[in-house]
Amino acid sequence: MGGYLRPGAVQDALEALDRRGLTIVSGGTDFYPARVGQPLDDDILDISGLAELRGITETDSHHVIGAITTWTDVIRASLPPYFDGLKLAAREVGGLQIQNAGTVCGNICNASPAADGVPPLLALDARVELSSRNGVRSLPLTEFIIGNRKTARRPDELVTGLTIPKPANPAMSGFLKLGARRYLVISIVMVAGVLERAPDGTVAAARLAVGSCSEVARRMLGLERVLAGRPIGPELGSAAMEEHVELLAPIDDVRGTAEYRQEAALTLVRRLLRALGSAP
């Protein structure tokens, strides 16, 4: 049986991480199910008591999602429309019990290819804040998740939050998830997007991401360039072509074949763009 530490202050957590290797546990909804039937001999740093890291705060230039902010906290928060995609994803993470305990940061630190939080956070241009006794560093989410269940976090670092910049223009967002049934399901494909509207009604900027179709969810940079400058309307859906999803590298598994995933990704991207283009 390993040790168990539940500090009440971030500084105490960082000092503990600096002293020795500890396994961080937040909501535990990824951590515990992965260890069923195995001895629990890790030395645990339970961060659920770090109240200062709970909730979503706002400055002039960005929002910050604290490390122990749960999916339910996201759903209940009053946020601008460009967070709608993240809120939709939050409603689809497991059931209510999982949404109450599971955290947004736990989802990205677990770095599963099927993590529902990653595509909406990529579309929001999120950065990850990592703190240690030596200071704070900030990485774009694209540089934080570096592979299937691999992140750039160093052993003495705690992810203390996510920083979301405010878009330069009015923006809207969405999220679509395809699973084998309606609820409580691991994604076969999910797609998230943010569209910024220029004063003349064209796309000032588009950010789109697809998950579950590669080791790490991918931004659709080629398609984003094609969308920039186009009039916002339902016809945005037809801008998405097969060539735009060629950068995905889906696998065959019990939930779907690679070919099915590739086709579904294109269908979902088109559907999302049509819906965002038709939004008032």
Ligand X SMILES: Cc1cc2nc3c(=O)[nH]c(=O)nc-3n(C[C@H](O)[C@H](O)[C@H](O)COP(=O)(O)OP(=O)(O)OC[C@H]3O[C@@H](n4cnc5c(N)ncnc54)[C@H](O)[C@@H]3O)c2cc1C
Q: How far is the CB of 269 from ligand X (least distance, A)?
A: 19
Residue 103 interacting with ligand X (CB under 6 A)? yes
List the one residue from 106, 119, 237, 277 that touches ligand X (CB under 6 A): 106
Q: Cα 51 to the chain's mean position, in Å?
A: 22
| Residues in 61-80 that interact with ligand X by CB under 6 A | 67
If the CB atoms of residues 117 and 167 are measured against ligand X, the closer one turns out to be: 117
Residue 23 interacting with ligand X (CB under 6 A)? yes
Q: Which residues of 96-134 are buried (b: 16+ CB within 10 A; e: fewer)?
A: eebbebbbbbbbbbbbbbbbbbbbbbbbbbbbbbbbbee
Give the DSSP letter of residue 167: P
Contact stretch for ligand X (CB under 6 A) within 12-20, 72-80, 88-96, 164-172: 88-96
Residue 46 interacting with ligand X (CB under 6 A)? no
Q: How far is the CB of 261 from ligand X (least distance, A)?
A: 16
Q: How far is the CB of 169 from ligand X (least distance, A)?
A: 29
List the one residue from 65, 115, 162, 192 that touches ligand X (CB under 6 A): 115
Q: How far is the CB of 229 from ligand X (least distance, A)?
A: 34
Contact stretch for ligand X (CB under 6 A) within 9-17, 97-105, 197-205, 257-265: 97-105
- How many CA atoms does the CB half-sphere of 107 hold within 13 Å? 29
**Residue 267 to residues 39, 199, 223, 263: CA-CA distances in angstroms?**
44, 29, 14, 6
List the one residue from 14, 16, 29, 273 that touches ligand X (CB under 6 A): 29
Nearest in space to 101 (alpha carbons), one of 5, 28, 17:
28
If the CB atoms of residues 14 and 172 are measured against ligand X, the closer one turns out to be: 14
List the one residue from 7, 12, 15, 28 that touches ligand X (CB under 6 A): 28
If the CB atoms of residues 161 and 277 are measured against ligand X, the closer one turns out to be: 161
List the one residue from 13, 124, 158, 226 that touches ligand X (CB under 6 A): 158
Nearest in space to 107 (alpha carbons), one of 26, 163, 178:
26
Residue 131 interacting with ligand X (CB under 6 A)? no
Contact 226, 270 (CB under 8 A): no
If the CB atoms of residues 187 and 262 are measured against ligand X, the closer one turns out to be: 187
Residue 278 interacting with ligand X (CB under 6 A)? no
Spell out the alpha helix ranges (H) of the chain.
Answer: 10-19, 71-76, 84-92, 96-101, 104-110, 118-123, 141-144, 221-227, 258-278
Task: Give the Cα-Cα-Cα angle 6, 24, 140 (nearest 5 degrees).
Answer: 130
